[in-house]
Amino acid sequence: MAKNLVIVESPAKAKTIEKYLGADFSVLSSVGHVRSIPKRTKDGTKPVDIDNGFKTVYEIDPEKTKIIAQLRKAVQEADTVWLATDEDREGEAIAWHLCEVLKLDPKTTRRIVFHEITKHAIEDAIQNPRSVDMSLVEAQQARQILDRIVGFELSPVVWQKVPGGKSAGRVQSPAVRLLVEREREIEAFAGSAEFKVTAEFRTKGGVVRAELPKRFEKEAEAQKFLESLIGADFSISDVTTSPGTRNPKAPFTTSTLQQEANSRLGFSAKATMAGAQKLYQDGKITYMRTDSVALAGQALSQITNYIKKTYGKEYHQIRAYKTKSKSAQEAHEAIRPTDVNKEQVSSDSYNQKLYDLIRRRTLASQMAPARLEKTVVTIKISSGQEVFEAKGEVIIFDGFLKVYGVNKKEDDILPPLKAQDSLDLTAASARQVFAKPPARYTEGSLVKKLEDLGIGRPSTYATIINTVQVRGYAERGESEGTPRDVIVLSFKDKRVIREVEQENTGSNQGKLVPTASGEVVSDFLTGHFDAIVDYDFTADVEEKFDEIAAHKLERNKMLMSFYEPFHKLIEKSGDVKRSEVAQAREIGKDPKTGLMVLARFGRYGPMLQLGNPDPDDKEAEKPKFAPLPEGTKIETVRLDQALEMFKLPREVGKTKDGETILANIGRFGPYVQVDKLYASIKDLDPLKITEEQARTAIEEKRKKEADKYIAQFENGINIINGPYGPYITDGKKNARIAKDTDPKKITEKEAKKLLEAAPTKRRRFKAKNNK
């Protein structure tokens, strides 16, 4: 064993670092966190003992026992141990936990940090070790303990009081509230429409597209204006040009990278961080969890040389950006390439796209501004006082846009024009335009909002957004919207023609939309635990963590200041009745049965109920249930819409073999069913689906099921094509099949043998404590 043992938290990071250190160094990985706070301790003590100074029990994660054993052996054989976990609070906490389980003294064990995995950075870190920073560790502990307390005390309240409620988190709950409030703004938005007039003129130099600055509220006014253009003359009354500049943005922080990757590449926050983590571990970019926009002197020198050499001196302009975030202390630099000279660094297309975005943003940040010339052309109409305006923009010098630009539309380029020039009108139209409600959040814009409010930190944004979706409180929209009529008045052949076109409105594709569960949980927390979802309070807690990290605030003092008022709210919540949280709404009576139809919130979300018998009347007829029609809510569904849903399940017809086909809506959407076979009909209405369409869906499902089985043996063992490759199963245990083994050639005897050697499937629940 080498004299020096370096411990990092990632196997990929270990491989990269080992390349830069000599034979005297061995690099091993902890594979992330090694200990966590258990749900139940082995000896029955409290995992977090609030009355005893928030004393916390940490237990080694079961899957890490082998890794810890290997590390303990390596520590005994090494002369010097170096802890090289990430430089943020999570990394510092991992270093401390390693000291605890490996019996190392955190005061004397060498702790090294670096924000890029390069030979120079690693060697520099080795020359400048420090000890474990316990203030950073305590800040991480405070966050972990606080989140555990909130989860353990508040989540059971949500389960008991909120139909469909799954959990509540200290930071995820304000994020859900943001989504819910925006959705309510959209629902309350009072739409309006007006007519926008555009025109196209021809000159000797080319085509000029212009717009009337004035909008018309009524169709008749727009019609009258277009008619006034018949026989009119058009000339340029004024041409105004003004110089302008456009400056580059700062290099990426964690949040701005997530925003831009979402906007430009369509990446989710989770995918962005996964890609950035891989690039960092491979030594291609600096540390990816940061809220700093600073660039190191060595990096600036490299960037300067590259820009001057590649584009010329006139393209370079050195810039020093100031970090807006008060808490920018988790890392020392912005996210940048470790070597800007490298354009291609990954064979993975997604990671390469992300690297290219980071590289271009970094280069652009140290480049000259783009110089523009903005032109406004005023076009006079002989028949009236109104004027058209044509606006254009010409790039005089592209500057940073050379590497980080957006292609200009041809519409923005104006032909040579001067005052008094005459123009020929070739087309004009007045199109009905509608006021737009506030936009739903994308993952990128939600990250920006959380950052603006001071909620969360670079290491938590992606987790927050992923959690609210996993919990079922929000989902990524897929709707293209609904069609609406748009009036278009067109000026053609010296007359005005009226047409009605259609356009989609209300698309939520790629946007984060709160679910009904999200709305109910958010309303409950806002009503009874306002502090948990209050934006200022949540931001204040984040600042308290920063103060602990800076050794300005005692950990336990901060925790107690939060816990005491929070626990009082928990105790008070016992008086809240479940029926009051998500009240049922009476829609009306079914004309056939006379029974009341209700819209209410059930275990799996909003639903309809026919009949509302007295729970004490055991002889009363049980109520019937049905899903809400698509696009409706408990507050908006009408009686006629509700009654249609009670026709489900609907008999659609028969298969070719005479089997009955039923159509219905379940937890996961509409489907057709033949006996125990279910086929999703996501884009079809179960009330309108035809027999032919249903047969097609059933046949496709049967084909898919047939293709799923590679082999089926009489003893109940099957070889199945799974999403991650073929595997053997008997329904209780699964066995992987080696990549170099042909699953079609596995015999029943071999399958049985492989299955016997496989580990037993993990149970998804824990046995109750019978003590």
d(CA 746, CA 324) in angstroms, rounded, equals 61
Residue 452: closest CA among 138, 175, 241: 175
DSSP state of 51: G
Q: Are 282 and 16 in contact, with CB atoms under 8 Å apart? A: yes
- Integer-rounded Cα radius of gyration of the chain: 32
Residue 553 CB contacts under 8 Å (≥ 6 apart), including other chains: 544, 547
d(CA 631, CA 611) in angstroms, rounded, equals 23
Contacts of residues 757-761 at CB distance under 8 Å and 24 or more positions apart, as own/partner, are 758/728, 758/733, 758/734, 759/733, 760/732, 760/733, 761/732, 761/733, 761/734
CA dihedral 698, 703, 705, 709 (to 10 degrees): 170
Residue 276: closest CA among 197, 338, 202: 338
Q: Is 287 a catalytic residue?
A: yes
Which residue matches tokens 């989860």? 151
User: HEC states along 28-48?
Assistant: EECCCCCEECCCCCCCCCCCE
Q: Angle, nearest 10°, between helix axes 134-161 and 89-101?
A: 100
The rounded Cα 243 to chain-centroid distance in angstroms is 39
Residue 511 CB contacts under 8 Å (≥ 6 apart), including other chains: 439, 440, 441, 442, 476, 477
Tokens representing 178 are 């943001």
Q: Where are the beta strands (DSSP E) in 522-654?
A: 585-589, 596-602, 605-610, 624-627, 650-654
Peptide bond into 649 cis (omega under 30): yes
Tokens representing 406 are 């957006």
d(CA 505, CA 193) in angstroms, rounded, equals 13
Task: Supply angle C-alpha 36, 285, 550, rounded to 5.
Answer: 50
d(CA 324, CA 448) in angstroms, rounded, equals 13
For the chain, give percent helix, strand, coil, nearest 5: 35, 25, 40
Tokens representing 369 are 């501004």
| Exposed e or buried b per residue across 67-88, where buried means at least 16 C-beta atoms within 10 angstroms of its C-beta | bbeebeebbeebeebbbbbbbb
Residue of 20, 58, 280, 287 with catalytic role? 287
Tokens representing 662 are 């039923």
Residue 487 CB contacts under 8 Å (≥ 6 apart), including other chains: 195, 219, 431, 432, 498, 499, 500
**Residues carrying an active site annotation:** 287
